[in-house]
Each structure stands twice: as C-alpha cells, then as structure tokens.
Amino acid sequence: MLIEFTVENFRSFRLAQTFSMVASASTEHVVSNTFPSDIKGFGNFLRTAAVYGPNAAGKTNLLRALQFMQSLVINSAATTPVAPYLHLPFIFARSNRRKPSKFSITFAHGPVWYEYGFSMGPERIESEWLIEHVHARGRTIFERTYLSEKKDYEWNFSPSLKGQKAVWSEATRPTALFLSTAIQLNSKQLQPIYEWFQKRLVVVTGVTTFNAGLTLQLLAEPDGKARLLPFLQEADLGISDIRITREQLPAGVGYVPVPGPNQILEHDQATNTFNLVKVTLSHNVVDEKGKQVGLDLSEESSGTQVLFRNAGAWLNVIANGEVLLLDEIDTSLHPLLTKFLIQRFHSRSCNPKNAQLIFTTHNTSLLDQMLFRRDQIWFVEKDRSLASKLYPLTDFKPRKDEDLESWYMRGRYGALPLLSET
C-alpha cells in the first residue's frame, strides 16, 4: 500500500511537495473509505484520493513523477536501457536546471514498511537510500552518495543486507539505481521492494484507456464471465450477456494486422500469434422473435466501450490489492459511472485486499462529503513562478456539512483556472 510520496525539482514541481494516503483522526466514513494499517505507529490508510486543479497546473505531473520513479526502478539496470537517462528539472528557474530531482516514497509490503528514494542530476544518480521498518525504529539497508571531490560514490550497507554487496555496487552504473542492479544480479532480499514497483503499482497517464487485453484474458478464464458480467451489470448498463468469437490468424504472418471496426486485436504471447476478437453484448431487450438483442462493442456508447476495455484492469487491480494512479478518471464516463467505480474501492466486500485508487479529475460533482472524507481531496495549482503547489483540502478546515463543490467553484480552495473577463 502507498503511504506517502514526495517529489522535488521535477517538471512543474520546483519545491518539495508531499502527497499522503495516511488517514486523519476524523471518524467520517472510517469503515468504507479507510482500512487499518496493522503497522505500529500508523492508524488507518485511505482507499482513494482525488486530485483537482486547472489544466496545466501539474496534476498529471504528480502522476508522472511516480511513473518516472517506477520506470527508473524497473529499467535503469538493463544492459541496454529502455530509455535514455533523463533529468527533467523545473526549467523556469535557471538555478534549478542543474540541481538534482528528488523522489522518495513510503510504502508497506505486508507488515513491513519501507522508505526508498533517490536524487538524480543531469549526469548521474547523486544519492540513493533504502530504510526498512520491521519494528518501530527503522534501519538503513543501504545508502549511496556521490562525493564530487572524490568523483566516486560512498557506500554504506547494513549488516542485515545479505549477498554480494561489493559486486552489486561495483556493477551499478552512475545512471542506474543500485536497487535495480542488485535485482538484476539476483538479490533475493531486495526482491519484495522491486516487485512492489513492478507488480503492485499501476500508473496510467495521458488521454488513454487500459488495453482490452486484460479484459479478454479475464474472459478466457473458467470463471471470467462470472466475474466480469456482474461488474458490468452493477454499472446499470442493461447488459445481460457477453459473447466472444475469435478468428486465429495464420502463424508466420509477417505483419501486425489491423483490426476492423468490430474487432479487437489479441496477441497470444505464448505462441506469438494473433487473434481477431469480436465482442457482442446482449441487452435486456427482445426483438419481435423473442430473442435478446445483441450489439457489437463498436456500436455501444463510448462510455460502455471504455468500461468494457477497462474492466479487466479494474478487477485485476482490486483482486491483487494494487495501487492504481489514473489520470482523468472520468474520460468518456458518466459521473454516476465514475462514482460506481470509486465506490467499489470503498467497499470492503468488493475490495477485501485494500487496493488503492488515486486519480485526477475536473468532475466537481465528486466533491461530495457523502462520497469522500475531507482528507481524501487534494488540489494542485501554480504560483507566479509557474511552480506547482500540492495541498490537501484539510488545510482549509472545512466543516462536516460544508458544500465542497460550491465553495471550490467560488474559489475558496484555490486551484481554479484564471479566465479572462472579456
């Protein structure tokens, strides 16, 4: 589970900004919107959080910062790096252009929680650290700091870190993370930290939808339809059944086929073959012959198409207790459907593994204290230097009966677009 994330000098974030999923002591929606941390020193954690702000304020950059951190952890130690080493500082202040960007995250994996972070300059990783909290008092597992006078790194390792530490540190490139390198060289002890980034963190940014492949994979499982169909039906779309037909393309085709308007392209990685998949949704309507009416997926509304394509990913995140960060959650979805998806995360029966959802939105109808606690709402706005500032609604100490949507639109909480009066 995600506890806290801090970013500094990255894209539109100039000064350090911290986002937290630690619940306050408020008693509102405790059972539905929070869950016990089971970690000494913490109370409850939040299941969801919403981030508001005008266009270009930095909402997406908050998600991009965590996505950037995740990518560096997963890919930086590759023999051939997936992407070039990038330093993306706040560019509107000349003094920041050569300063390191800093990323730090606090997360829990089982009963243990970790603090991991690094700073990176234009040419190298400047520092990196990992603190493990098995008990209330943490211990530094490793620490790496670049000393400019020596033009080399100073390393500190805990005796509790087992394995070939000298080999791992020697193999760590200046532009790679030690955590990633140690995993490449078979560190078993650090595997849970790496796997949290790789398997428990899902970040979706930009105008996009999930790949329908996860939904098709779900339908291929023996109980797949039984899991997917109730999810669609709960969204009140009038869907009564799902039918899938597959046309397997001949093996050895030397090109990637382009699916037709009524098809989805499915890649079978095991056999490296492609299927053209046609999805038909039956509705609770019968024709003059008494048969249910079925529509090709392409003939459904854009909201239904988005929900079907995303359903496998949503259900997968919840089933595995993952952390999902999603940009513009309400793209192509009706506000009530967006609320339905959020409420699934708030439901203990639907979300028994305490998956977390963090999303950006412009949908002010979600600013409802019947849906969210006050500590679940965050804002992003830019100051006069064009630097993004992140702050929680709780800074304004709103009343329990306060009309959050009305006061936000009237400018009490800031984070509104500045519009010309002409």
Residue that wins the pLDDT comparison between 261 and 204:
204
Q: What are phi and psi of 370, to 5 degrees?
A: -80, -20
Same structural domain for residues 165 and 231?
no
The reported pLDDT for the residue numbered 300 is 87
For the cut 70, the answer to whether the pLDDT of residue 252 exceeds it is no
Same domain, 53 and 136: yes
Q: What is the pTM of this model?
A: 0.92
Other CB atoms within 10 Å distance of the CB of residue 112: 14
From CA 392, how far away is CA 413, in angstroms rounded?
9
Co-location of 242 and 105 in the same domain: no
**Both 252 and 277 in a single domain?**
yes
Please check whether residue 275 lies inside any domain of the structure: yes
DSSP lists the bridge partners of residue 266 as 275
pLDDT of residue 251: 64
Per-residue pLDDT band at 41 (split at 50, 70, 90): confident
| Domain boundary pick from 285, 310, 335 | 310
Q: For residue 270, tell me if it sits in a domain.
A: yes
Our separate counts of H helices and E strands in the chain read 10, 19
Reported as a pLDDT band with limits 50, 70 and 90, residue 255 is low
- pLDDT per residue as tens digits for the range 159-198: 999 999 999 999 999 999 999 999 999 999 999 999 999 9
The verdict on residue 321 lying in a domain is no
Q: Residue-wise over 250-279: b if at least 16 C-beta within 10 A, else e?
A: eeeeeeeeebeeebbbbeeeeeeebbbbbb
Mean pLDDT value of segment 377-383: 97
- Mean pLDDT, the chain, rounded, equals 91
- How many other β-carbons are positioned within 10 Å of the β-carbon of residue 232? 18
% of the chain with per-residue pLDDT over 90: 69
Q: What is the pLDDT of residue 391?
A: 98
**Does residue 316 fall inside a structural domain?**
no
On whether residue 374 sits in a domain, the answer given is yes
| Residue 315 counted as domain residue | no
Residue 124 in domain: yes
Q: Is 317 helix (H, G, I), strand (E, B) or coil?
A: helix
Cβ–Cβ under 8 Å, residues 172 and 155: no
Identify the domain containing residue 247 by its residue range.
211-310
What is the average pLDDT across 232-254? Answer: 79
Instruction: Specify the higher pLDDT residue, 265 or 207.
Output: 265
Domain membership flag for residue 382 = yes
Are 103 and 195 contained in the same domain? yes
Q: Based on the domain organization, do 96 and 29 belong to the same domain? A: yes
Answer yes or no: do 224 and 161 share one domain: no
In this structure, the answer to whether residues 135 and 236 fall within a common structural domain is no
Single residue among 262, 280, 310 that ends a domain in this structure: 310
Choosing from 255, 284, 310, the residue where a domain stops is: 310
Q: Which of 8 and 305 is assigned the larger pLDDT?
A: 8
Which SS3 state, helix, strand or coil, does residue 88 take? coil
pLDDT tens by residue, 286-342? 767 767 788 898 888 888 888 888 899 899 999 999 999 999 998 767 788 899 999
Average pLDDT over residues 382-400: 97
Neighbours of 21 (CB within 10 A): 24
Percent of the chain with pLDDT over 70: 92
pLDDT surpassing 70 at residue 419: no
With tokens 């539109």, the residue in question is 12
pLDDT at 81 over 70: no
pLDDT recorded at residue 422: 47
Residue 209 has pLDDT above 80, yes or no: no
Clarify whether residues 195 and 246 are in a common domain: no
The answer on 230 and 157 residing in a single domain is no
CATH number at residue 388: 3.40.50.300
Number of separate domains in the chain: 2
- Looking at the structure, do residues 199 and 216 belong to the same domain, yes or no? no
CB 114 within 8 A of CB 130: yes
Q: Does residue 207 have a pLDDT over 70?
A: no
Considering the domain architecture, whether residues 45 and 139 belong to the same structural domain is answered as yes
pLDDT band at 139 (very low <50, low <70, confident <90, very high): very high
